Structure 1
Amino acid sequence: MSNTRTESESAAEDRAPAGRLRSTAEAIGGFLRRVPFAIGLAVVLVITALVTGTFFGPATADTLAYWAAGVITTFDLGHWWSAFTALFVPADPFQLVAGVILSVVLLGVAERLMGTARAIIAFVVTGVIGLAVGVLIQWLGSNVGEWWATSTAADSTLDPLTGIVGALIAATAFMGALWRRRVRVVTLAFILIFVLYDGDSSNSYRLIAAIAGYLLGALLARNAALLKPSRASHRERRTLIATIIAVTAIGPVVALINGSGLTPLASASYLYKDELPDLSALIDKCNDSGAAITETCRQQLVLVNNNGFGMLVLSLLPVALLLLAGWGLNNGRRFAMWLAIGVNLAILLFAQASFEVSQAIADLTSNDPSVLDLGEFLVWIIAGGLLPLGLIILLLLNRREFAIRSPRRALGRFWLTVGIAFVALAAVYFVVALLNITSYYPVATVWDIVIDTGKRFVPAHFVSASGTVIITDNGFAFIVHQIVGILFWIVFIVAAVILMQKSRSRATPEDASRIRELIRRDGGGTLGFMATWPGNLYWFAPDDRGAVAYRVINDIAITLSDPICSDADAEDVIRGFVAFCDANSWTPVFYSVHPQYLPVFESLGWLHMSVGEETLVHTKGLELAGKPWQKVRQALNRGIKEGMTTVWTTWDELPLSTVAQINAISEEWVAEKELPEMGFTLGGMEELKDPEVKLMLAVDPDGRMQAVTSWLPVYRDGVPIGWTIDFMRRTDESMNGIMEFLIASAALHMKESGAEVLSLSGAPLATKPLAAGQSAPPPTVMTRLSEFLANTLEPAYGFSSLFRFKAKFNPDYETISMAYPDPIELPTIGMAIGKAYLPQVSPKEAVALVRTLTK
């Protein structure tokens, strides 16, 4: 046989050339070159602003009458074209700046995804529908006397953002699952908040345009399935829910800034007015009215009582608490879930009282004498409660996503701190008020002071106008009146932030640092770096001679692969951990351990069974030559011919555009599966971000990423001597064989860098192929169980097909086993391991899994 290597084999030795990722600046430049319509619209907005005069100030009456959409212009004056022209003229300089920026950014995104022709269609169609249908609804409502429609019938709207929003939502049909979901949720949440808390006509038009864009996008993409919500990962669900909660938090700010009171949730803005009656004059006026205080006097007392810096800040308390809850929800905190539910429950319970009081004050202070009739008043009360009620239901339905609980001791310290702060500040206010009781108007009793003390800690629009309203003209008492509530809630928020940084079931930062040091020193095997993943707890042997990473589920302490220690200390470390579990009444189970440790378990009288095969490629002297490497070599050569390059990097070194691509690829992969995500020995997005983890990326000639793999280090004496694959994702449009190309390139890179071994990780429930002439051992109860599980789970997770894929790399096989002390506990152990792999399975996912398994 000739030793001469073929040309193709020699080419395969030269892995794909190292490439580079596009910088953010390059990505922006490439983006701008591909969005002529978006840039053109921005230029048109500048030109029309100069022509109509809105470049220098608000639109004049003549400009509005001819170009703007509205009941008067579109219907009464018959300017039918205004539903089109209003999309191209900014109303004022501020809208011009916003229109230019949003045209380039948002409409540019839509154009980049859909193409210029579709972007033009989407902008015009959704914009015209939003304006025309919105004006029609206002015209119909004003004709029947509906309060909102009547109040806004005189509005004239110039708003390019209506078409931009509609085009953006239409373009989500051309996005991957991640950004399609994010853009739809965030955009609609923002629009709804402005509709519910502002009430301006243009916000309603944008909402209609967004709905039109949602339907038009599916039509343009010719895929009705895009109207259905796609499945999200657990991490993404947390992010979306946190975003929704945070976005809804800005509603009261919108209401206070706008101050129109044209919506169910904006009416509390009437409690805060720029022009207030003088207190002394108000008291004299009310005294002149006789012994009984009139309703008019009482309402004006409410206005004075609830103004001032302290009361204004306290009115924004729900904003601060919901933003705090959003931060905690994004981190999976259970306390944040209950905080968000509590705030929305308070908003729901106090909505009617707030609306009644503020609407009465609106009647008193508004120049518009129109008031709601009883039927519409009830409709608005119901509408005001729908948003908080919907958020409460959303949080409760997704409570499994927020499973991180705070330690009981930390929770106790939180409530003690909050309780002491409340008692102390309430006592200060009560004593100061009691000492100055004669300065209050109307004449106050001790009971009135008690009630007023409680009101100081609640937003003014909730309860401060209920019961007897008393106000003081004493300067010091008034200052205390303003600040005690603010001080209490500052203490609450700071204590809550500290609480949500503590966990009941996570290792301390000190433990995490110690385990990394031991892994660098002793290695822990090819799967050892998984011990650093979130969710693990650690037991350390005396003098740090070794450690074990584990999780406790249903009193089963499941370890993650081998003990982290030297070979000489292995037996002592294993026995020490077993004794530790016995002291805690836990059943220890060593999962995914390698063959060299099995004699230790046999000496303990334990049983063990195979749970998979690890596939190892030795990179020293690796050559992709000969027939066994043909398929891998073909994929590698094809990638090189198509201009593919590879990048060996870390997460922290990635430009933002690449981070976004990886997030999108991962979410697209999750969205395509109805089945629950697996964890435990299978890493996800969070594990990619570790600075010690390497990424190998496949990049096409245009600089776009086609596939990503992550590699966990295998240490010896502080130096990486091998790498274990974990995360593998590719785009739907990637080259056939992209994963073979990427793994082969990684193997050759490792060979060049001096690494000794590449592990393709374990193949769960797999059995290595028998050697020639070798017969299978006689079946046992355990092997039958393993075979049954493998056959059952194969339709759902494709373990066997993954194992066959890894076989392309001609690996050596090493059996990984589960060692356990008592076969009677196998059912409990099986359930615990199942929960470790599927910790957050929802009822819907469980049904999907069962349906897949029974096909």
Structure 2
Amino acid sequence: MTDRDRPPAPGADSPAPAPAGTARRAMHLLRRIPVTLSVLLVLVVAGLVSGGFTSPSDQAPWYETFAYGLPSFADGRWYTVATGTVLVAVPPGYLLILPLAALGLGWLELRRGSWLTAATFLIGQVVAVVGTAFIVAGFAAFGSPWADELATQLDVGASGGVFAAITMAAFSLRSPWAGRVLLIVFAVVTIGVLFIGTLADIEHAVAVVAVMLVQARAFSRPTLREQRFITWTVLLAVGAAQLILVLVPAFGPFGASDPGGAQFVDVAIDAVIVLLLADGLRRGIRLAWIGAVVLGALNVLGGVLAFLLLTLLDALGSDSDAAELADSTARDALTLAITTSVLWLGILIWLVITRHAYRARLRRRLPGARDAQSPGALAETARELIRETGGGPLSWMATWPDNRIFLGSDPATAVAYQTHQGVAIALSDPIAPDDLVGETLVEFLDTVERAGFAPCVFGATERARAVIPEGWRAVQIAEDTIVDLPGLEFTGKAWSPARQALNRAEREDVTFRMGVLAQQSRRVRAQVDEISAQWVGEKELPEMRFTLGTVDEALDPEVRMAFAERDGQLEGFLSWLPVYGADGTVAGWTLDLMRRRAGGTFPAVMEYLIASSALAFRDEGAAFLSLSGAPLARSTPASADELSPIDGWLDHLGAMLEPAYGFRSLHRFKQKFRPRAEPLYLLFADEGDLARIGLALARAYLPDASMPELVRMGASLTR
């Protein structure tokens, strides 16, 4: 426990109470939303004056004088657009409109300012009320029973302006969240009009559509992922609406329906099928697309038949036998079928337009990938490409058997990756020349999305971060530590830890040597296995993998091993992975395994091994050493202003994991060698994928961990 975490001693001076700072922040926030506060104040005052908080306004004798609608406008009472806006029909309505107004107007005002908020609310409310009157009058002129009834009704409320504000605020979000929020809002108001059909539902739809038309230039062509998201959202909305309709009475443009009845079983089965298809469409599965097209076609055909039957029943309504057939249950079922078929027609058209987004197989696999079923061929392919094109500090890990290789269209390009939990995790930068990194990365990400995986890149350097597609995000998840070797000398006070380790090793007859593990004697290899087994045995979980190698990977003949020995006994060892340059020669080395003998008699063995390795590689002409990145650690903590919410969460996660894994302690240890820092990033397209990406990374690092082991780890971290 740090001093900051320790509670103050009795009698000690306590810091200033937190509420003071909280109050200041609250006042600052309130000063930024004067329009929102004004609207809320007017609604509350009008409710108190009219008695709307305690009794229904629509039952009051003055209601017709102040409510808006076709009857009021026909009598010339246009002022009701203003008076009706500040009223609420029934007391429970305040529980909805006040929070909704605070959210919608406050959100817009904080993001876009007071003037735009005021204009959006006022104009949106007027357009919603007047536009609804024109729509109802138009439908009534064509003999719509639904519009005929609405033409006699009045309404009050500010919800039209509030929906306009919510829609305008959604446009202020960055992609893809702007499109997603707009889609949800549009789905809500569309279903409201088609299935419920009150004046308020039409007002909401008019306000939303009006703002969308004004902001039409802000729309862009949806990406492959967004096309699937639109389909998924709309299908779920339709399924939910159908279920609600058989439970709640409705009266929409296509007629009325009552809850219950025989259609409940049909709708429930339809909703289950929709749920299954929606999940497959979200993942881009071709079979799900075919099923959705078939289901949509059947619903549209059913709607056409229902319309014909309903027309026939109306034509035969005077016949006594026909009247028996035209009972309310039959009409309810036909009405519901017609209404849902309209939505299914739109979905069917969308499915045809976006058919290229659904090409993934039920058993997902990336085309152009060579997987771990042939580890020898995989490793050789990766080796050849790395030698030809060069790579970064993590590139040699592509040769490890757990990884797969995506072969780019250019023969000199590839991407190492793993798939877990429906996520394709690319390992660091593409293996490609500098001028092809962006093209290779985009090709891989596009292939991944078409195959139905969520893509991400783990351990990317600035080279890959600079060429990520528009809309992608990058968060720092580690920091590589690079030691430049040319001219390296362990002189001066800053190098005293390394120098002291070298001097002590000389005094205590500890020797250093480099070698290839596969070429060592049985005695040495047995000690390497013994030390590793001791190290792994101290952990609660199996040995971690992905970017952390094991002794098996150290047997690679191109991997160099650094040994510290005394009297024939290993005190510790390191493994170094080659980093090739573009000219086909080894430019540097990356640290992988770090193992010391439990109970060893030379405590500075790690400092000694790293310092000796640096001198040996310097003399061979290598340019640098990478001491590898410590996850969730930084040399210089970012300020609060620089931290995004995701960065803040990762910082908290790093602190939580520190007692179990010591990532930050390891990072501090590496600072003894005065490295320069190179950030490593997680690249991803969508914050909505972060939960899945986190699970996929956990499985990549701990592929052999059982569920009980993971649960125990989570419990220990929580404690």
TM-score calculated relative to the size of structure 2: 0.47
| Greater relative contact order structure (CA < 8 Å, 6+ sep) | 1
TM-score calculated relative to the size of structure 1: 0.40
